[in-house]
Amino acid sequence: MDWVLKDLAVTVPRTRHTVLLSADGLCMARWGADKDAADRPAAASSGLKSLAQSVAADEGVDAGLMSRRMRDLVIRIGDHLASPPRAPERAP
């Protein structure tokens, strides 16, 4: 499976690595990243999937309208949801 991920990465400029996730957020395969680097986006994506599923709607919902309204909501309340950095930034 890694060769498929490599093919994806090398055909899209500026791609650093690719990760294939299971439905529950486990890293199933990776290319260009060590295990720890692959597990971070896997866990984050699992969390995002859970959040996305919390928006319940009927089959006939206008997905475009829902997307725009969610974007507008984030813009309106985004500053209130921000949290300060957990650690000071380090110079590169």
Which strand (E) or helix (H) includes residue 20?
strand 18-21
Predicted local distance difference test score (pLDDT) of residue 32: 92
Half-sphere exposure of 23 (CA within 13 A, CB side): 1
Domain with 64 in it: 2-78
Predicted local distance difference test score (pLDDT) of residue 77: 79
Predicted local distance difference test score (pLDDT) of residue 54: 67
Residue 11 located in a structural domain: yes
- β-pair type (18-21, 27-31): antiparallel
The b-or-e profile of 10-47 (16+ CB within 10 A means b, else e) is eeeeeeeebbbbeeebebeebbbbeeeebbebbeeebe
Residue 29 located in a structural domain: yes
Residue 88 located in a structural domain: no
> Residue 8 corresponds to which tokens in the numbers above?
């994806």
**How many folded domains does the chain comprise?**
1
Predicted local distance difference test score (pLDDT) of residue 91: 67
pLDDT (tens place) for every residue of the chain, 92 residues total: 778 889 988 999 899 888 888 877 788 888 998 888 888 888 888 777 777 766 667 778 888 888 888 888 878 877 776 667 777 767 66
Do residues 2 and 30 lie in contact, with contact meaning Cβ atoms separated by under 8 Å? yes
Predicted local distance difference test score (pLDDT) of residue 55: 67
